[in-house]
Amino acid sequence: MKENKKTYWKGLEQLSNDPEFVKHADGEFAELPKTLGEDGSASRRDFLKVMGFSLAAASLAACEAPIRKAIPYVNKPIDINPSIPNYYASTFASGGDYAAVVVKTREGRPIKIDGNELSPINKGKVNAIVEASVLSLYDKQRLAGPMIGGAAAEWAALDTEVKSKLASAGTVKIVANTILSPSTEKALQEFAAVFGGAELIMYDPISNYGIAKAAETYFGSSVIPSYHFDKAKTIVSFGADFLGTWISPIEFAGAYAKTRKISKEKPEMSRHYQFESNLSMTGANADYRTPIKASQSGLAVLALYNAIASKSGAATVNAPKVEVANLDKAATDLLASKGASLVVSGSNDPNVQIVINAINELLGNNGVTVDFANPVFFRRGNDERMNQFVTELKSGQVGGVVFYNCNPVYDHARGAEIAEGIGKAKVSISTNGTLDETSSLVQIVAPDHHFLESWNDFQPKQGHFSLSQPTISPLFNTRQAQESFLVWAGSTTTYYDYLQANWNATLFPLAGNGATFQEFWDQALYNGVVSVETTPSAVSAIGDASVAASTVAQTYKADNEGPELVIYSKVGIGNGTFANNPWLQEMPDPITKATWDNYLTVSQKWAADNGVTMYEENTQKASISVNGKSLVVPILVQPGQANGTFGLAIGYGRTKAGRVADGVGVNAYDLLDASKGFINFDITTGVEIAVTGDSYKIARTQTHQTFMGRENVIQESVLSAYQADASAGRYKPEIYKDGEFIKPSKLSLWKGHQYSQHHWGLAIDMNSCIGCGACTVACQVENNVAVVGKQEVLNRREMAWIRIDRYYSSDAPADDLSGMEVAAENPEVTFQPMMCQQCNNAPCETVCPVAATTHSSEGLNQMTYNRCIGTRYCANNCPYKVRRFNWFKYHDNKDFAGVNIAQNDDLGKMVLNPDVTVRVRGVMEKCSMCVQRIQAGKLTAKREKRTVQDGEINMACAVACPTDALVFGDMNDPNSKVSKLLKIEETTSALKEVGEERAYHVLEEINVSPNVWYFTKIRNKEKNEA
């Protein structure tokens, strides 16, 4: 019955059966920290609390309710109706990170960001950072107005000051991250023209300059190509985390997932090889993952080149031999799918990227899966120019410097030198919206609007444009930066007019289609996106890879001895711009499941050699020094980490981000190497690492909510087995009754429910889920889920309604300790989103003494907060451990004001969803399947006197999911997507019989009959082995 012999484990402590872990795993709730007196008696504070409560309760009963005002508009805008949301198409852009979005506003306040389905780039999808960006609008740390010399100023005074000072400053430089906006660039040119041709220097905190530089050498144009993962049958990635952080992850994740979805109609999927040092989220999704040292990565690329070249009759290059598992296999697969394969590298070394170009050229991928003729503009930074600028600034050659929405003091490898150099410029200006590391050092701060308050346009890809529009009046006395530039250039037009004029001149003639400009503009604004036909520039390889190849052969070493540091960025925090957003800080990292920290990921072997053991959150610190700069960081033992390499994430260690991010983690940008003409993220020489012996706690959710080793939670198989039998990998428990074995669903204590109208259900494809966590943040925004802070996460009291369980698996049986050790060096990874399963036979409902959790006639397991008295019996009885208890009052509580900013100050509270109650202390909460959306959707249908259409009601998590792994719908509707996906034949009974062979219930044998189905994970491997 059970063919899968793998052992699944969520953390090393579970694998090694750590006694402490076993003890904790048994309990639903972690042991309470001691709040009572040492002897266990109540303290004086407790006594006062009780007294205070009694007094308050007594006075409450005696007094009248307070007078509440109802204040209507003086002149109600025609489109704004209280309680009815409005949606505006707009665009999220932070440097080169881009997503076309739809902003939901209530009573004029933006409260939720979803993807714009009309966008050809992100296709209606978002990631965690885009989801969370709405909260940064309501950040108290934003500047309230312009500043001169550290003091508040008036805009008029600032403009005079800027104009007069810049005019006499001499050389003026504008520093920015990637600018996607054509109109902004035009405005900057006008500004530059007035001030002696001020040069615009762009850099990217997460640089991909190597790709552009390689393209310049190899194809003659310095661009980053479009990648089409959806057209690739074989994908080989050398350290590129293209699902999480690389160039355009939302777009790539969507395209990649298309090749990973399988069904009986399409029993085929792409094969994905990953060669990398750190275990990235992309590596975790690979079919074959090989840990390699960073010092070998160039040689591995060369080895692949040689393997392909030798078989396609091209010249091979001389290179030191490296033993890299699965590389030959990858070459074979690539050759078998010529023109439908894709090789990418995350390296920022132009020479490596040239070899990658050559490989794709040999495979005929250029122009098919890699498109240099239709480039993207997500990364336009020039590392060399920026490097040169820092030297100029330091030597006092720069007279005036303008930092346009960038923070190089923090996020550039030579940030400290920039900080030093700013003082040497005669005039320094920043348009940053907060007083961050850079803007706190400049003379004049002219704060820009938040993107939700701004007009702007964007060209993320050749021929594709989008607009952003204000969704709220500016909250503070800020001014759109482009308008500042125009004012300083002596122009009097508003940026809105400027933008329109620019579109009228450039885009309208191309995409007007006979409409008037106003019609064209209105349509563009309504849709948010415009695409025009462009003739792709003819691209052919003009370069030769041999020079680059020999350089690579010399630079990279097969046998590097010293420790190597591989600096990466996290899916949630990214480059650190949004670090002050608590939703992102508390989002568990997809792999490590750590929150509120960065850390040094080390291999198990190194940990063992150095006597570092880690159980649960307890770890030690290590000091790391790179060429003289040193940091002290906590250690995290990471299965899958290439031995000899160490990972450290950027985006942390902010000092002037605000109360949330300041002092969280260390700044790894300091360790980056800018000496090679590009920002080098792989530091292979001069790295020293020593364990300091100090203990530390990393707040991880990893070992929480364990399923206690029940292996039927994850059901998986390989493609060939699936093709032979669609139910491969399925675990089908049976129960013995009256002389025969029956399905668990055939035996029940309960009479069952009647779902006459709707029966909401969710299907989750574990083949599509990449573990990115966009759903978790979307849920947090939609459902007013509290942020609890690091200490409470350590106390295992995180409140997230949906979590993504990350399971490692290894082949060896549980009693083969040495076997498991080997496998754990490079385990397989499976992601499983877990939320309330809305059981039909819900164990929580039967144990609630006050009927606060009950079942609805639509299959929902309802949680009624105002009825709950907090016994927590329900959570104890929940087999999925998805219920969350409010241990504290997280709103209006100064103890949580620093982390739970959405529920504590008046500004932060503007982001709350008015349709969802903010829960109080002492009540239980959990996923409601976004019942507020269900109710709203039903009501709309009723008002329009029609039935509910499939797709008009959707859960926040499913809307956000960039890979469509979650499909929600009405299982009583035979035409709904979820019914078809699950192949539900008979739609009237409450207990649905599902025809899809891959679909299963987690813990089916206990027959709680969930309304959430999971689809078996199918890996495209030869054999079912880890």
Partner 1 sequence: MSSKRSLVGILLSSPTLAVLFFLLIGVSAHAADPAVVNSPEAIEVGKTVFNANCKTCHKLDQKYIGPALRGATDRNSAEWVKTWIKNSGEVIASGDSYAVALYKEYNNSIMPAYTFLSDAELDGLLSYIEYGDVVDPNAAAATIGGETGAVGAGGGIPSEYLTVILGVLILVLLLILVVLGLIISVLTKYINRQDLPEDDKEFVSQKFELGKVFKSDAFIIVITALVIALVAKTAIDGLYSVGVQQGYAPAQPIAFSHALHAGQYEIACQYCHTGVEIGKSANIPSANICMNCHTHIQNVGGKEGISPEIQKIYNAVDNNQPIEWVRVHNLPDLAYFNHSQHVAVGGIECQTCHGPIQEMEVVGQHSSLTMGWCIDCHRQTEVATQGNAYYDKLVQLHSDSKDALKVKDIGGLECAKCHY
Q: Which positions lie near partner 1, rule CB under 8 A?
A: 60-61, 65, 67-76, 81-84, 756-757, 852, 854, 856-858, 860, 862-867, 915-918, 928, 931-932, 935, 938-939, 941-943, 945-948
617: nearest Cα among 701, 539, 692: 701
CB atoms within 10 A of CB 636: 25
For partner 1, give the closer residue by CB, 47 or 73: 73
CB of 874 to partner 1, least distance (A): 14
d(CA 928, CA 908): 24
CB of 756 to partner 1, least distance (A): 5
CB of 117 to partner 1, least distance (A): 25
CB of 473 to partner 1, least distance (A): 14
For partner 1, give the closer residue by CB, 312 or 935: 935
d(CA 501, CA 410): 36
CB of 945 to partner 1, least distance (A): 4
CB of 101 to partner 1, least distance (A): 24
6: nearest Cα among 729, 701, 639, 734: 729
Sign of CA pseudo-dihedral 811, 817, 823, 827: positive
DSSP β-bridge partners for residue 109: 106
Strand 172-176 with 151-152, pairing: unpaired
For partner 1, give the closer residue by CB, 16 or 856: 856
For partner 1, give the closer residue by CB, 47 or 87: 87
CB-based contacts of 614, cutoff 8 Å, min separation 6: 12, 13, 607, 620, 635, 636, 637
For partner 1, give the closer residue by CB, 74 or 538: 74
d(CA 745, CA 747): 5
CB of 909 to partner 1, least distance (A): 13
For partner 1, give the closer residue by CB, 175 or 918: 918
R_g over Cα of the chain: 29
For partner 1, give the closer residue by CB, 178 or 784: 784
d(CA 249, CA 771): 13
Written in H, E and C, the secondary structure of 88-140 is EEEEEEECCEEEEEEEEEECCEEEEEEECCCCCCCCCCCCHHHHHHHHHHCCC
d(CA 40, CA 43): 9
CB of 971 to partner 1, least distance (A): 14
Give Cα 826 to chain centroid, integer Å. 23
CB of 138 to partner 1, least distance (A): 20
CB of 787 to partner 1, least distance (A): 20
Apex CA 679: angle with CA 348 and CA 384, to 5°?
Answer: 105
For partner 1, give the closer residue by CB, 309 or 931: 931
For partner 1, give the closer residue by CB, 84 or 869: 84
d(CA 881, CA 814): 24
DSSP β-bridge partners for residue 690: 623
For partner 1, give the closer residue by CB, 70 or 151: 70
d(CA 121, CA 254): 10
714: nearest Cα among 14, 6, 1, 28: 6
CB of 949 to partner 1, least distance (A): 11
For partner 1, give the closer residue by CB, 83 or 535: 83
CB of 939 to partner 1, least distance (A): 6
CB of 916 to partner 1, least distance (A): 6
Which amino acid makes up residue 803? R
Using the 8-state DSSP alphabet, how is residue 764 labeled? Answer: E
Tokens of 265: 């109609």
List the alpha helices (DSSP H) in 537-626: 546-555, 582-586, 604-609
d(CA 570, CA 861): 35
Tokens of 117: 């389905």
For partner 1, give the closer residue by CB, 86 or 551: 86
CA distances from 76 to 73, 126, 162 (A): 5, 33, 40
Residue indicated by tokens 């950040």: 139
For partner 1, give the closer residue by CB, 105 or 856: 856
CB of 754 to partner 1, least distance (A): 9
For partner 1, give the closer residue by CB, 541 or 936: 936
For partner 1, give the closer residue by CB, 916 or 991: 916
For partner 1, give the closer residue by CB, 78 or 151: 78
Q: What is the DSSP string of 817-881?
A: HHHHHHHHHS-EEEEEEE-----TT-HHHHH-TT--EEE-TTS-EEE-GGG-----HHHHH-TT-
For partner 1, give the closer residue by CB, 597 or 915: 915
CB of 68 to partner 1, least distance (A): 4
Question: Does residue 111 contact residue 105 with C-beta atoms inside 8 Å?
Answer: yes
382: nearest Cα among 681, 678, 683, 682: 678
CB of 970 to partner 1, least distance (A): 11
For partner 1, give the closer residue by CB, 35 or 75: 75
CB of 928 to partner 1, least distance (A): 6
Which amino acid makes up residue 979? S
Which amino acid makes up residue 209? Y
Tell me how far apart the terminal alpha carbons of the chain are, to the nearest angstrom: 20
CB atoms within 10 A of CB 737: 10
C-alpha torsion angle, residues 405, 410, 416, 418 (rounded to 10): -10
CB of 858 to partner 1, least distance (A): 7
d(CA 159, CA 693): 54
CB atoms within 10 A of CB 34: 8
